Amino acid sequence: MAQTSITEDSIRAALIERLKATHVEVQDMSGGCGQSFTSLVVSPEFAGKNSLKRHRLVNAALKDEIAQIHAWSAKCQTPEEYDREMAATGGQDRPPLDGTEGGKVTGMSE
């Protein structure tokens, strides 16, 4: 698979700039080739919006980036939702890493 110029850092920076995100976690799930990402996005822009509208905001903000990658998933929260969840879980909640080891996809051959 071809390497893209999309990275965890470039996605994080775009979300902070375009959605005024206060907290962003991005994980490259493709073993470093920049083709599959999962994320947690915390933004006040999500207030009063349901899950679908939040995901549409993220997808619109990352339209160019998403067009260059294979897979994208996002967990979207307001700052208040994020704070409540962190208090309830002790900060242990992260984007799902099912099927990965250390954020890298497992069980796949090159």
Dihedral sign, CA of 73, 79, 81, 82? positive
Domain-wise residue ranges, the chain: 8-90
- Cα gap 31→34, rounded to integer Å: 8
Distance of CA 94 to the CA centre of its chain: 10
Indicate the pTM of the whole model. Answer: 0.77
H runs (alpha helix) in 21-77: 51-61, 63-67
pLDDT tens per residue across span 50-107 = 999 999 999 999 999 999 999 999 999 999 999 998 888 877 655 554 555 555 555 5
In CATH, what number does 8-90 get?
3.30.300.90
Spatial contact of 15 and 61, defined as CB atoms under 8 Å apart: yes
